[in-house]
Every structure is written in structure tokens, then in C-alpha cells.
Amino acid sequence: MKTIPMHLNVNGEDYHIMVKPNQVLLDVLRDDLELTGTKEGCGLGKCGACTVLLDKRPVHSCLVLALQADGCEITTIEGIGGKQLHPLQESFVEKGAIQCGFCTPGMITTAKALLDENPNPSEEDIKLAIAGNLCRCTGYHKIVDAIHSCTCESLKASKEGRDD
Ligand code: FES
Ligand code: FES
């Protein structure tokens, strides 16, 4: 099949690549760029395991044609924290919000988008934001708790607790 040139900025790095017209963003990230942190669950837009940020908004990358993302900025789980773990990643570990871990990259990228838009979401806001991300292991409570621990108010309260 004919391939078409495109440009992506992924986690701050520019990639000029050739893609097939029917190739989805998930496959480009995992197979061509070898960024395998983003997972493929259902491949049908139903589980959220493949969530990445496209121009800062969470999308199911299994449903986005790579060419639709031409010229866009993509953030995957590999780019969430930079060289150090992001507070969300630390919180997921501390709160036991990871079991098999398959949903975790998608959960964390979704949570990052939420907190970037609203630094103090309520528990209901968090549940609504992750409604498209399925977890078969944790029962969600610890995930909501982990995200809630990263709101501005919670981080401030825990810092004040440490300073006392
Ligand atoms: S793999 Fe994309 S939503 Fe399930
Ligand atoms: S930790 Fe296993 S699916 Fe969420």
C-alpha cells in the first residue's frame, strides 16, 4: 500500500515518518516509534488502554488515523514525567492503584489531562474523567484515590503536613 509522509511531535521530539493511509496512531506509536508504554486492549475505542494526549486532549489512539494527527503534539506515558516520575505515577504506586498495570498508562494520561484542565477536580469529576478507561483489577477506588492525592489542594495539604 502507498505510504504518505507526515510529521508528529511525540513527547517533545519531532518525527518525520511514512505511514499507510489506514494506519492508526496507536500502531505508529508502538510499532514504528517503539513507544510501547501505550497499550492495545480492545482496539475498538471501548477500554481506554490506548489513551494518549493529542494536542493536550485525551484520545483513544486506536481510533485515530495517524494522518489525522499530522502536525500534532502527542504525549504518551513515556513523556508524562520526563526524567523523573510524575506525581501521578508516584501516587499510583503509593496508593496501590496498579495491579496488572495494563490500564495504567491510559489512566495516567487521562488523569494528567484532567488535572491540567482542572487542578482541583472533585471525586465525581475524577470518576467522570476516567469513565472511558476500564480496569479489570483494582475496583477503581484506589485509582480515584491516587488521582485525588494529586489535586492542588491535596498536594498542598500533604506538604503542609510534612512541614509541621
Ligand atoms: S485499545 Fe483503544 S480503546 Fe481499547
Ligand atoms: S490494574 Fe489491571 S486492568 Fe487496571
* CATH number of the domain where residue 34 is located: 3.10.20.30
Mean pLDDT of the chain: 96
- The boundaries of the domain holding residue 16 are 4-80
80, 100, 126 — which closes off a domain? 80
Q: Domain check: are 98 and 48 in the same one?
A: no
For 19-31, write each residue's pLDDT tens digit: 999 999 999 999 9
Nearest CA to ligand 1 atom 3: 45
Closest ligand relative to 133 C-alpha: 1
Q: Kindly state if the Cβ of 47 falls inside 6 Å of ligand 1.
A: yes
Q: Kindly state if the Cβ of 45 falls inside 6 Å of ligand 1.
A: yes
80, 97, 130 — which closes off a domain? 80
pLDDT score recorded for residue 159: 78
Q: Kindly state if the Cβ of 101 falls inside 6 Å of ligand 2.
A: yes
For 51-88, write each residue's pLDDT tens digit: 999 999 999 999 999 999 999 999 999 999 988 999 99
Looking from the CA of residue 134, the nearest atom of ligand 1 is 4
59, 80, 101 — which closes off a domain? 80
- Parallel, antiparallel, or unpaired: how do β-strands 13-19 and 73-75 relate? unpaired
Q: Domain check: are 91 and 76 in the same one?
A: no
Looking from the CA of residue 41, the nearest atom of ligand 1 is 1
Q: Kindly state if the Cβ of 64 falls inside 6 Å of ligand 1.
A: no
Q: Domain check: are 140 and 117 in the same one?
A: yes
DSSP per residue over 78-140, as a string? Answer: HHHSTTS--HHHHHHHHTT--SS-SSHHHHHHHHHHHHHH-SS--HHHHHHHTTT---SSS-S
Q: Domain check: are 57 and 125 in the same one?
A: no
Domain count, the chain: 2
pLDDT score recorded for residue 12: 97
pTM: 0.94
Q: Kindly state if the Cβ of 73 falls inside 6 Å of ligand 1.
A: no
Question: Rounded distance, CA 90 to CA 93, Å?
Answer: 5
Q: Kindly state if the Cβ of 157 falls inside 6 Å of ligand 2.
A: no
